[in-house]
Amino acid sequence: MRADFINLPVVSFSPDRIPDFDHSGPDRFFNRELSWLAFNWRVLEEAKNRKNPILERVRFLAISGGNLDEFYMVRVAGLRGLVKSGVTRPSMDGLTPAEQLSLIDQDARRLMRAQDRIWSRLRE
């Protein structure tokens, strides 16, 4: 049996509304950099997952570390350049480059501590 997506009837629906949510405001956007860090946390979770073989867990830890290095070389460097140039205009999510750097610093420090703890456990 084949699905015929071309000839299916079009179903229209109305999205649910969240009370007290400004649908035109910056809260409707995820910050690109913080979202990337959240992804890297998910990669690191695989390094903690005992269902994965030990070398796979080490590989996920290495991927997480490599990702973080590249993140700092490209994205954080770009934000630092914006701050150094005096850019204060917020991105679509409402955060200025300086605010993004502050939030990145907090989360990345937590991520690095978690990477160190996981590496210590994996070495044992």
| pLDDT exceeds 90 at position 21 | no
| pLDDT exceeds 70 at position 24 | no
Q: What are phi and psi of 88, to 5 degrees?
A: -120, 0
pLDDT of residue 119: 98
pLDDT per residue as tens digits for the range 43-65:
999 999 999 999 999 999 999 99
| pLDDT exceeds 90 at position 82 | yes
CATH number 1.10.3660.10 is the correct assignment for the domain at 42-123: no
Q: Which amino acid is at 113?
A: R
Residue that wins the pLDDT comparison between 61 and 5: 61
pLDDT of residue 5: 65
Question: Average pLDDT in the 7-15 region?
Answer: 69
Rg of the chain on CA atoms, in Å:
20
| pLDDT exceeds 70 at position 7 | yes
Helix (H/G/I), strand (E/B), else coil: 60: helix
Are the CB atoms for 64 and 43 separated by under 8 Å? yes
